[in-house]
Amino acid sequence: MSNEAAQPTNILDTSVSNFVARTAAKAPTPGGGSVAGVVGALGVALGEMALNFTMGKKKYAEHEASHAHISARLQNAREMFEQLVHEDIAAYGLYQATSKQDDGPDKDKAMQTAVAAAINVPREMTKLSLAVLADLLELSDKCNPWLISDLLAGGVLAVATVRLSDFNVRINVPNVVDKQAADDLYNASKADVAKAAELLERLDEACGKHLK
């Protein structure tokens, strides 16, 4: 059996080592978009870990309702990031298949659909990352101080996901025929990068009292 045949159908079912090797291989997927999704999921997971070590402790009993709300949101975000990894791979497959079609009006229309899919996935990752950053900020004063560094690490990975997603938007917007729409997408992505940085700064300030 060849190595290719032995690969799991679900990229997320592979080992970390294999995922890294497949990313490094001479193949288009997994690429930057898929990696962004995994980074986002890991960022959420770190936030969840910090929360799981906090929930149920008598010291934080007054925050029980808030903890339950954030926990549900973070779990949903992690699952959504995992789904977006698959959607990124599918979007690239659509773009690749469409690019091989014969030239003509049908191909032009199909290419715009493929480009839209390639842009939509990173934009969804960005929206999700910003929501996660807001949740981590809300958790910052309701968290076991020994897990603050993990909470901050989750925030850093969320910002990295926003930056990675911005790159994927910027590489695709030149292919959008509607130039006003392309400019709007570019500007929205740029604004979200700034918003993510601002949220991380606030998270760092909120957690700073627990760090040397």
pLDDT tier at 8 (50, 70, 90 boundaries)? low
For the cut 70, the answer to whether the pLDDT of residue 205 exceeds it is yes
CATH assignment of 32-210, given 1.20.1200.10, 3.40.980.10, 1.10.10.10, 1.20.120.680?
1.20.120.680
What average pLDDT score do residues 146-163 get? 96
Q: CA-based Rg of the chain, rounded to a whole angstrom?
A: 19
- Helix, strand, or coil (residue 143): coil
Domain boundaries, the chain: 32-210
What average pLDDT score do residues 165-184 get? 96
pTM: 0.92
Structure tokens at 51: 């929360």
Q: What is the pLDDT of residues 32-58, one digit of tens each?
A: 999 999 999 999 999 999 999 999 899
pLDDT tier at 101 (50, 70, 90 boundaries)? confident
For the cut 60, the answer to whether the pLDDT of residue 6 exceeds it is no
